[in-house]
Amino acid sequence: MALFMKVTNNSPMIPFLRLIVLFVLCYKTKGLIKLPPNVTIPALIAFGDSIVDSGNNNHIKTLIKCNFPPYGKDFLENVPTGRFCNGKIPSDIIAEELGIKEYVPAYLDPYLKPNDLLTGVSFASGASGYDPLTSELMSVIPLSTQLDLFKEYINKLKGIVGEDNTNFIIEKSLYVVVGGSDDIANTYFDAQARLQYDIYAYTDLMSNSASNFLQEIYKLGGRRMFVFGAPPIGCLPSQRTVQGGILRTCAEKLNYVAKLFNLKLSNNIDSLNSNLPKSRVTYVDVYTPLLDIILNPQKYGYKIVDKGCCGTGLIEAAVLCNPFVNTCYNVSEYVFWDSYHPTEGVYRKLVEILTKTYLGGLL
């Protein structure tokens, strides 16, 4: 049975479907962020890596999966959905606080309903990156394919609500784009798969690829974009273990590359906004607030910053964080859930900081 029926401009279903669209866009969850009366953000659409992958990797052949316990320990009904976290991830929390919906589903989820599409989905794939080689090494969904899926999504929307309503949704939605961490940590440093580049050339490759990707979203109609910079990668527990020496200190070389990439990404975004009419592309500095949490955990109510809650917390992530390892007793004391990803609690603190700082630039 076809999930989506084709709707033509002359179809008698058009008026009825427009009513459905208006109902879905107006009947939202109660968000903490109050938008101005003349501003509408009908949907949230996510691209990138594991920070906003809500389960797409469940449906591809890769080892980079987390659709098993203890992942999802604090998600709805304790279900491991494929989110690389104990609970909600940033795309879910932003959508929740904007009053769009409670969580953003994975586009490849076979149980998606038409109403899910109207309010946004995630195309992200854990372990993807701006460098095409990054997704190839991990057998995950590259950004180019995420764009192809987005085009397919647009056509499905047209089949449900018609072209005019689709154009409205695409233009007014918020696009959350997250990438760079896996390029730097996995491809460049751990796998050493780009030895032909020095760090300056490699961050050029990353930032130029990011710029091209954002332009593709713009060409397809997207205007409002939150583009996350790289975090302090060298302070992630896994990178402390692999790159931080016997004392597992923050690997400052990785942090330096992250900051270098962030500077270039920010500059490229400034250029895009100058050259793309009506664009609202916003560089989001994740590095500074997350580093502050790591360096001053007591200020935020945390105790443990150098290891994750899952297993030993030193290296466990994805398949290494599984039902056969122990998890910490009190996740609220930890900054990181596994050795690579923050807890839901940290994501909530970051989203609160980021929306206060950057949301005005999108409106």
Note whether residue 180 is domain-resident: yes
With a cut of 50, list the residues of the chain below it in pLDDT: 1-19, 22-24, 26-27
In angstroms, the CA 76 to CA 78 distance is 5
In a domain, 27, yes or no: no
- Cα–Cα dist 313/128, whole Å: 22
Residue 336 within a domain: no
Instruction: Identify whether 59 is a catalytic site residue.
Output: no
338 catalytically annotated: yes
Torsion angle in degrees (nearest 10) through CA of 305, 311, 316, 320 = -160
Q: Is 32 inside a domain boundary?
A: no
184-212: per-residue pLDDT in tens? 999 999 999 999 999 999 999 999 999 99
| Catalytic option among 50, 181, 211, 238 | 50
Catalytic, out of 182, 238, 306, 341: 341
CATH number of the domain where residue 269 is located: 3.40.50
What amino acid occupies position 204?
A: D
Q: Which of 116, 182, 306, 338 is catalytic?
A: 338
Residue 320 belongs to some domain of the structure: no
Active site residue 49: no
Determine the Cα–Cα distance for residues 91 and 187; give it in Å rounded to an integer: 25
- What is 162-180 written as a DSSP string? HHHHHHHHHHHSEEEEE-S
State how far the Cα of 79 lies from the Cα of 185, in Å rounded to an integer: 29
Which amino acid is located at 315 in the chain? Answer: I
Give the chain's domain count.
Answer: 1
> To which residue do tokens 């689709």 refer?
166
Residue 274 lies in a domain: yes
Residue 266 belongs to what domain range? 38-292+346-361
Is 1 part of any domain? no
How confident is the model over 89-134, as pLDDT tens digits? 999 999 999 999 999 999 999 999 999 999 999 999 999 999 999 9
**In degrees, to the nearest 5, what angle opens at C-alpha 133 toward C-alphas 130 and 134?**
60
Per the domain annotation, does 141 fall within a domain? yes
Q: What is the rounded CA–CA span in Å between residue 54 and residue 37?
A: 30
